[in-house]
Amino acid sequence: MDDIYQEFIIELYKNPMNFGRMAKPDYHAEVHNSTCGDRIELSLKMKSGIIVDVKFAGSGCAISQASSSLFTEYLKGKTLDQLKKIDKQEVLALLKIDLSKNPSRMKCALLPLDALKKSIK
């Protein structure tokens, strides 16, 4: 099972969903993991109170990039109130791998959540 999930993460790293920059986003933030150097820029576009487009850009390890890719898909169609309630367990569940024994990788996986929280403050 671990091999399947590792392949899943590597595939998302090589071919991320929603990668790129957005012109004139409604919400935007950039965060940096000083421990490893990963950087994520998250941009959100809303229409009628619903997230209609999400983009991320940046660089980093396979975990941060795969997490950002999955997270951007997860955000589509949500309201601002729903975004405020997203917690780290939801983000970690998207990755489908256990990072509990690797706190440094946990921080990488949660980088897009940090960007979301910063953008909607």
Nearest to residue 73, comparing CAs of 16, 24, 33, 31? Answer: 16
Provide the residue range defining the domain that includes 95: 2-119
pTM to 2 decimals? 0.91
Give the CATH number, domain containing residue 32: 3.90.1010.10
The token duo for 70 is: 């999955």
Report pLDDT digits (tens) over 50-59.
999 999 999 9
Helices (H), 37-86: 62-75, 80-85
- Please report the pLDDT score of residue 99 as a whole number: 85
Number of folded domains that form the chain: 1
Does residue 5 surpass a pLDDT of 80? Answer: no
